[in-house]
Every structure is written in C-alpha cells, then in structure tokens.
Structure 1
Amino acid sequence: MIDVELVRKLVAEQFPRWADLPVRPVAVGGNDNRTFHLGDAMSVRLPSAEGYVASVEKEQRWLPVLAPHLPVPIPAPVAQGRPGAGYPWPWSINRWLGGETASHATVTDLSAFAVELAGFLRALQGVDTGGEPAAGRHSFWRGASLTHYDDETRKAIAALDGRIDGGAATREWDRALAAEWHGPPVWFHGDIASGNILVRDGRLAAIIDFGTSGVGDPACDLVISWTFLDAPARDAFRRALGVDDAAWQRGRGWALWKALIVLAADGSNTEMERQIRLILG
C-alpha cells in the first residue's frame, strides 16, 4: 500500500536530512502516481503500477530542460529515490507547486484561460530536444498514431450500442484515423486535463504531471477542448494555438477514444456520455 507511512520510511532511509519533515497526502491525488506533501516546499511522487515507472526517469531527465522555455512553472525534480521499504520502483521528490486545481469554480475567465493554455502549449512545442523522447509505450502512445487504439475504440463503440449513436461514433473515429499527421515531431504533454493544471486568482499558474509527455504529434493535447472548455473558449483556444483541420480532427479522436473506453468500463459515468455527445455534435 502506498501511504504516508511508506513515504516516511522511504524518505528516512534514503534522504535522512528530510526525515523530520511532515508527510501528508495531497488534496487531489492522481491515479497513475500517488503524491504527498513533504514539508511545505516539496512533494513525493510514487508510481502506482509498473506501467508508470518509465515516467520517473523521463521527468527527472527532461523537466529541467523544458522549464526555462515555458511561461509558467512545471515540476522541478529535487531527488530520485530507489526501491526500498517494500516499495519496488524508483520514485521522485519535486519542488512543491502552489495553486488550485483548475475547475469551472476556480477559473474566472474561461476564454482568457484557454488563450494562456495555448501559449503554454506553443512554448512547449517550440522546445527542440532533437526528437527525444520519441512518443511510444512510455507515453501510452500519446503523440503517436491513433491506430494504436483502433481495436479498443471499436470494441467500446460496439459495447455501447443503443446508448450512443454508434454509427456517428464510428464515422467520427474513421475521420480521425484518416486525418494523418505529417508534421515535424514536437513536444506534447499528453494529459492536458483540468486535474493537471493549477490556477491562481483564476489564471494559469502551473502545469503538472508530465508522465505521458514526449515528442511527436501534439494533437493529443487538444482533448481539453471537449472535456473542460465551453464553445467560446474552445474557439479561442484553437485560434490561439493555430490548429489546422486535420490536427483538430485527431484531437477529437483522442477525446472520443478516452470518453468511449471510460463509459464502456463504467456505464454510470454520465460526464463521459456528455462528452461523447459534444464530440459527435
């Protein structure tokens, strides 16, 4: 179990200079990783399963490279832990980033927020690291072709027959697959979602959780257009980011895939049903 006691043991064993600092869970936890406060200025981040372990070294290596080029803070690694105290994987200690999780209650102007977010993504895409780390298994195929999830998506559409418009979903998915990416590989975050965005006084303050990041097709970072933004903010986001029709269609495909598989797994998730209706128009 990944809990406060485990974190205390790991820190005491490997970083005794911080052993006296209090450890407590963060208010909004994640699924891929478990995060805890370490004192007031640091956080501890532990992968929750083996599939997420690759993100530790990736973030340790690349976040310091990206940070100077970005308009708002991102996690800053302080130390990397090793397996211990019965925990089998590497883990991270980062600087704590303050702010509130983005929500419709904490963002005061959604269109202005969308433009700020587009500015962050433009800056991220502009960082040249020689094509590394290329999209792949470590990014859960974010930044790669949607074809990696073709079979899963079609099975979800079939499983939801009668609950959603399967024909419309299939046509939308086919259009996304046909809108192939031919541009140069650029940095993408991979999970631009409200839970990974911090705001302060209603404004964009920080972006966290780069576990699915990499270099490839940035269309996966458009998903927030349908999961969080309203119609005016969606338009402002697309204009500010300068997204062409093909990339926009692939972004719709990424959003559709995620909503379909989540709804197929949890039929009570009405938010995913709402998102599917929005995507299908």
Structure 2
Amino acid sequence: MGEIIDQGPALVRHLVESQFPAWAGLVIERGPGGGTDNHLYRLGEDKVVRLPRQARAAEVVSKEHRWLPRLAPHLPLEIPEPLGVGVPDPAFPYPWSVYRWLDGDNLLDCPSADLADTAHRLGQFVRALQSIDPTGGPTSVRARPVTPNDDTGVCATIDKLATAGLLDPTPALEVWKTALETPAWTGPPVWIHSDLYTGNLLGQHGRLSAVIDFGMLGVGDPACDLLPAWSLLTTSTREAFRAQVGVDDDTWNRGRGWALSAGLGAVAVYGDTNPTLAIPGRHAIAQTIEDWQTKNTT
C-alpha cells in the first residue's frame, strides 16, 4: 500500500471513539507537521495521536510502546510517553498510537537556541542512553552507520552537489575516506536513538527539553548518535558535547562520516522540495568539513 493521505480529524474521531471511548469527547485538531512518517493530531490538551503514513512507520508502533517506558526513567530529557496502541480498522489499515503531548518547538524552529546548553544536555542524554543495559534490545536499522557499501552512493552525491556548486568535493571526500578507513565498532552494541536530527529535538525558551521520534531506536554503534555534533552544533560547542558523551577518536571519525553522509542525503532529497529539512544537512556538510580540516591541517 502507498502512503496514506491525511484524511482529517473525522477519521481520528472515529478511531478514538471506537477504540478509546474514554477519550471520545476530547477536542481533536491537526497537530504540527509529522515529518515523513506520521500524521499528528492533538487530542485534548495533553495527548497526541500518531497515524502512520505507511507500513514501515507502522512497524515501529509496538517497539516504541515496549521500550520507551523502560528507557525513560534513566534519561535526563523527556521522551514520548505511550498511552495507548490502536489497532487497524476498516477505515485505517495500520496500528496507530496515542502519546502524552510534549510541549516545545523543534530546534529547526528555534534559531536562538542556546547551543552551549544544548551541547551539554544532549551529550548527557546520549551518554545516559548508551549506559542503559541493551539486553534484548532490537538491532537498529542504523546499527552500523558507516560501511563500504555506502561508498558509491556517497561519492555520487558529493559529485552531484559539487557539480551544482553546493560544496567543495575534495575535503568532503577526505571526510568520507577517513570514516571508511577507521576501524568498525568492536565493542558491545549500545542503545542508540539513530535519528538525532534537529527536527527530533524539542526546546522550550531556547533550551533543549525533549527528544522525540524513536522509530529507529535500537542497539548498535555509538557513532550513530554523534550526528548532532555536526548537524546542529558548531566549533565552539562541539567539544562540550563530545566531552559529555565521552568517545574515542575512532568513534568520532565514524560519527563525522555518518553526519556527512546524512547531510548529503538531506540536501539531495529535500534541497528543492523541503528546504527547511535541508538546512541541518547543509550545516552538517559544512561542519564536518571544517572539523576535519581543523584536525588535519594544523
């Protein structure tokens, strides 16, 4: 089945009334943009309904409802709190979910966010997540974020963007080459969010307050969750994040390569169709190159 088109509050009212009658009288209205995976609806003052757009998004509903309550008590930032799992209905083909509403704006919409404070808080969050016992955790789809299998695609994207005048290919290729030449993670897998892109970080009054969208949650290489060091932070704040997480040089190099790859993908996919989503991608490209040059030309 293709992507489910947003069918409006009437569908949500039907699903809630038939499956969660205790919430039937609550006001339903469209929520903020749900990104590429879900349609969001506010349910009353303190709940949000997530309707998967497609099958791959529906597959994570049970995973989030199983694991998020177990992880939350160990984390220093708020994360989504599952309140109910809806089942498929003749009017809607996928499992769906209800969560506690989290106040805040995603950091894409907070240009004045305190990045020094964010670096500290986010570093603590990543370290805390990686410290939780991973026994029984599912393998993340990004368990190994940098692999030789990606080389052809990454190099082709660098060439494409360079031809369009959007980057200097020489240092970009060096960043990627360094990541590929770095030894793979050989330690035990750790919990990783796997998608710490700027749009999945919420802030209040300029300060990071919550992390959302755990659809790619699982265990794997800790380098995956270093993404915001380059997609969000800057030279003056990046080392504070690294100090909080506590990573070795190899993990840092793999994380930088992954951030470049993710940034390239964001610009290539969203550069023309959704420029807002491409902004962190451009930032990641520029920051990974600057970081590599600083460490290799001094």
Q: Please, what TM-score do these two structures have when normalized by structure 2?
A: 0.85
Shift of 1:229: 1.2
Shift of 1:28: 4.4
Structure 1 residue 11 corresponds to structure 2 residue 19: no
Over 3 Å counting, the alpha-carbon distance change for 1:182 and 1:155 in structure 2 is same
1:133-177 deviation per Cα after TM superposition (whole angstroms, max 9, x unaligned): 122xxxxx3222422533332331232342333333223212212
Q: Distance in 2 between matches of 1:278 and 1:129?
A: 31
Q: Distance in 1 between matches of 2:40 and 2:176?
A: 35
Matched-pair contact (CA < 8 Å) for 2:82–2:97 = yes
Give the length in aligned residue pairs: 275
Over 3 Å counting, the alpha-carbon distance change for 1:274 and 1:201 in structure 2 is closer
Matched-pair contact (CA < 8 Å) for 1:74–1:206 = yes
Structure 1 residue 279 corresponds to structure 2 residue 283: no
**Partner secondary structure for residue 60 of structure 2:** helix
Q: Which residue in 2 is equivalent to 1:157?
A: 158
Q: Which residue in 2 is equivalent to 1:138?
A: none
| Alignment partner of 2:207 out of 203, 210, 213 | 203
Q: Distance in 2 between matches of 1:7 and 1:113?
A: 35
Q: 1:233-272 to 2 correspondence within 5 Å?
A: 233-268=237-272, 269=275, 271=279, 272=281
Shift of 1:85: 4.3
My pick for the range that moved more, 197-206 or 125-134, is 197-206
**What is the one-letter code of the residue matched to 1:31?**
T
Structure 2 spans left out of the alignment, 5+ residues: 291-298
Q: Distance in 2 between matches of 1:158 and 1:203?
A: 37
Q: RMSD of the TM alignment (CA)?
A: 2.0
Q: Which residue in 1 is equivalent to 2:228?
A: 224
Over 3 Å counting, the alpha-carbon distance change for 1:32 and 1:151 in structure 2 is farther
1:10-50 deviation per Cα after TM superposition (whole angstroms, max 9, x unaligned): 11221122111111122343221222111112111122111
In percent, how many aligned pairs have the same letter?
43
Q: Distance in 1 between matches of 2:187 and 2:216?
A: 20
Q: 1:71-150 to 2 correspondence within 5 Å?
A: 71-102=76-107, 103-105=109-111, 107=113, 109-135=114-140, 141-147=141-147, 149-150=150-151
Q: Please, what TM-score do these two structures have when normalized by structure 1?
A: 0.89
**Partner secondary structure for residue 167 of structure 1:** helix
Structure 1 spans left out of the alignment, 5+ residues: 136-140
1:163-203 deviation per Cα after TM superposition (whole angstroms, max 9, x unaligned): 33333322321221222212221111111122222223333
**What is the one-letter code of the residue matched to 2:153?**
E
Matched-pair contact (CA < 8 Å) for 2:134–2:189 = no
Matched-pair contact (CA < 8 Å) for 1:116–1:204 = yes
Shift of 1:274: 4.6
- The runs of 4+ residues in structure 1 deviating greater than 4 Å are 266-270
Shift of 1:273: 3.9
